[in-house]
């Protein structure tokens, strides 16, 4: 395919190369899916003639695409389905029985709905762990977004080997597919549901395949108790002994950590992905964000699935990541809004092992871009642009979304998804699931 040239002109560009690296009235030239140049505007929109397709973003704000670094997109089908229950009851009596009835087609349609919601809220990449992942990959491929897809692995007494072989086959089919927009990770569910020897095999397979690992880590206090009771060690120690801390690791939640565990996660080649909305809704607790930040732990943000978060909206995740530490520490100075937006962009890119090509606006990076319009009552006027995004903005400010140099949302028109069809399919499938489980 011939490389197309696309120019986004006139926006205030937040390059995420430092809080002061802001370019007013910018010009971003995109060629063949990559950012070719970033700088001040060199000519008027009309002056490009036939040389480029031009998006006039005068007066708007341009940021790197948001990265939702922990989600189960197909769980949109379970949005609002089981509310106000204790966590174990929620899981064992509602969510797991419903999930056991999900067909591959359910996962396909639920994922399409999740992708539509993520595009509308400025997310260009997401890290998903679920089952029926071929259908998730199809949905990603068709809709033009970017994703790191991890087949969820929960081994039974004799199923470990078969699960790993299926994951290997999935990686062979999809790693680097969809013009490089899909990458594969391995998804052992958590240290309390996967025995240590299985985790060690996952670590070996990830090294052999050259892919990362996506796992839930220290989400609840109960889980740490279970891990101790079953295997005699805490979750982080389990991961260390399995060899998982040495490779690319995306560790979701990280709510209950001790000081030495925070230190152990400092040199992670991926990131700890905090999911504050889900942690609050499920009563899991509050992650020690400031302590992790001070220790230099690489941090990213995720929403988790719609059943535990209500929405796949990274603006909510950013807002809570900024607000919760202030409430806990009673210190209104930290974390700075810039640092929170960085977690949702460059930090997410690192969680996916793609910090060299995603998360900042620089020549040579992939052109995953979001145009925000902050000239609306809830976000106007703008004194501090980072605070405006983190504290005031939401999906309603997202105007145009570009992935790999191609618009998937243009002036709030969704270009790659038949939304009425997806919503009708999901409604029918969600009702059937709810009726079957009760
Ligand atoms: Zn999760």
pLDDT tens profile 18-68: 999 999 999 999 999 999 999 999 988 778 888 999 999 999 999 999 999
Distance CA 195, CA 117 (A): 35
Strand, coil or helix: what is 324?
helix
| 219 Cα: distance to centroid of ligand 1 (angstroms) | 9
| 241 Cα: distance to centroid of ligand 1 (angstroms) | 23
**306 in Cβ contact with 291 (< 8 Å):** no
| 357 Cα: distance to centroid of ligand 1 (angstroms) | 25
- Residue 3 is predicted with a pLDDT of 47
- Residue 437 is predicted with a pLDDT of 87
Give buried/exposed letters for 357-387 (b at 16+ CB in 10 A, else e). Answer: bbbbbeeebbbbbbbbbbeeeebeebeebbb
Q: If 0-12 CB within 10 Å is exposed, 13-18 middle and 19+ buried, where does residue 47 land? A: exposed
- Render 69-124 in DSSP notation, one character per residue: EEE-GGGGGGTTSS-S--HHHIIIIIIHHHHHT--HHHHHHHHHHHHHHHHHTTEE
H helices present in 101-213, as ranges:
104-120, 133-143, 160-174, 196-209
Residue 80 Rama label (left phi>0; alpha psi -120 to 50; beta): left
Phi, psi at 175, each rounded to 5°: -65, 120
| 214 Cα: distance to centroid of ligand 1 (angstroms) | 10
Distance CA 270, CA 263 (A): 15
**121 in Cβ contact with 65 (< 8 Å):** no
- Residue 318 is predicted with a pLDDT of 98
Pick the closest to residue 73 from 16, 152, 5 (CA basis).
152
Non-local (6+) Cβ contacts of 23 within 8 A are 12, 13, 15, 38, 39, 40
Q: Please, how many CA atoms are within 13 Å of residue 142, restricted to the half-sphere of its CB?
A: 15
Strand, coil or helix: what is 284?
coil
Pick the closest to residue 368 from 52, 83, 10, 16 (CA basis).
16
Residue whose tokens read 């504050």: 276
**200 in Cβ contact with 206 (< 8 Å):** no
| 27 Cα: distance to centroid of ligand 1 (angstroms) | 38
Residue whose tokens read 């999930």: 99
| 376 Cα: distance to centroid of ligand 1 (angstroms) | 33
| Dihedral over Cα of 20, 26, 31, 33: its sign | positive
**187 in Cβ contact with 153 (< 8 Å):** yes
Q: Report angle CA 222, 223, 227 to the nearest 5 degrees.
A: 120
| 308 Cα: distance to centroid of ligand 1 (angstroms) | 8
| 76 Cα: distance to centroid of ligand 1 (angstroms) | 13
**153 in Cβ contact with 170 (< 8 Å):** no
Distance CA 98, CA 372 (A): 37
Neighbours of 89 (CB within 10 A): 11
| 2 Cα: distance to centroid of ligand 1 (angstroms) | 39
**358 in Cβ contact with 336 (< 8 Å):** no
Distance CA 124, CA 225 (A): 36
| 215 Cα: distance to centroid of ligand 1 (angstroms) | 8
Phi, psi at 178, each rounded to 5°: 55, 55
Average pLDDT along the chain, 438 residues, taken 10 residues at a time: 78 98 98 97 84 95 98 97 88 92 97 98 98 98 98 93 97 98 98 95 98 97 94 96 97 98 97 98 97 98 96 98 98 98 98 98 98 98 98 98 98 98 98 90
| 97 Cα: distance to centroid of ligand 1 (angstroms) | 16
HEC readout, 367-432: CCEEEECCCCHHHCCCCCHHHHHHHHCCHHHEEEEEECCEEEEECCEECCCCHHHHHHHHHHHHHH
Chain length of the chain: 438
| 161 Cα: distance to centroid of ligand 1 (angstroms) | 23
**Token representation of residue 75:** 């769980």
| 282 Cα: distance to centroid of ligand 1 (angstroms) | 11
> In this structure, are strands 123-130 and 146-153 parallel, antiparallel, or unpaired?
parallel
Residue whose tokens read 């174990």: 88
**146 in Cβ contact with 88 (< 8 Å):** no
């Amino acid at each position: 395919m011939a490389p197309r040239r696309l120019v986004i002109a006139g926006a205030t560009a937040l390059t995420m190369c430092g809080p002061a690296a802001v370019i007013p009235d910018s010009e971003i030239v995109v060629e063949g899916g990559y950012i070719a140049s970033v700088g001040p505007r060199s000519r008027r929109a009309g002056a490009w003639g036939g040389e480029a397709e031009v998006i006039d973003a005068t007066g708007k704000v341009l940021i790197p695409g948001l990265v939702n670094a922990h989600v189960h997109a197909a769980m949109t089908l379970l949005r609002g389905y089981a509310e106000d229950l204790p966590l174990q009851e929620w899981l064992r009596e509602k969510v797991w029985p419903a999930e056991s009835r999900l067909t591959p087609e359910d996962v396909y349609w639920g994922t399409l709905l999740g992708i539509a919601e993520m595009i509308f809220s400025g997310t260009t990449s997401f890290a998903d762990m679920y089952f029926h992942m071929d259908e998730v990959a199809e949905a990603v491929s068709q809709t033009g977004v970017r994703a790191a897809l991890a087949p969820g692995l929960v081994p039974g007494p004799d199923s470990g080997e078969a699960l790993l072989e299926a994951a290997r086959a999935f990686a062979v089919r999809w790693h680097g597919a969809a013009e490089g927009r899909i990458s594969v990770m391995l998804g052992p569910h958590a240290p309390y549901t996967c025995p240590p020897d299985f985790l060690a095999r996952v670590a070996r397979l990830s090294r052999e395949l050259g892919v990362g690992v996506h796992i839930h880590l220290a989400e609840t206090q109960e889980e740490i108790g279970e891990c101790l009771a079953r295997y005699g060690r805490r979750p982080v120690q389990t991961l260390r002994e399995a060899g998982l801390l040495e490779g690319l690791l995306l560790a979701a939640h990280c709510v209950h950590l001790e000081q030495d565990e925070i230190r152990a996660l400092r040199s992670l080649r991926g990131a700890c992905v905090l999911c504050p909305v889900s942690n609050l809704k499920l009563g899991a607790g509050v992650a020690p964000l400031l302590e992790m930040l001070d220790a230099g732990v690489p941090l990213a943000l995720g929403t988790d699935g719609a059943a535990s978060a209500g929405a796949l909206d990274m603006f909510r995740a950013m807002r809570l990541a900024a607000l919760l530490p202030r409430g806990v520490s009673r210190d209104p100075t930290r974390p700075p809004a810039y640092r929170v937006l960085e977690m949702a962009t460059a930090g997410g890119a690192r969680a996916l092992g793609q910090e060299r090509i995603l998360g900042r606006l620089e020549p040579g990076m992939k052109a995953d871009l979001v145009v925000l319009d902050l000239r609306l009552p809830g976000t106007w006027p703008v004194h501090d642009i980072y605070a405006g995004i983190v504290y005031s903005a939401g999906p309603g400010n997202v105007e145009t979304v570009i992935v790999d140099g191609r618009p998937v949302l243009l002036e709030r028109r969704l270009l790659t998804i038949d939304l009425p069809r997806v919503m009708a399919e999901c409604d029918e499938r969600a009702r059937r699931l709810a009726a079957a489980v009760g």
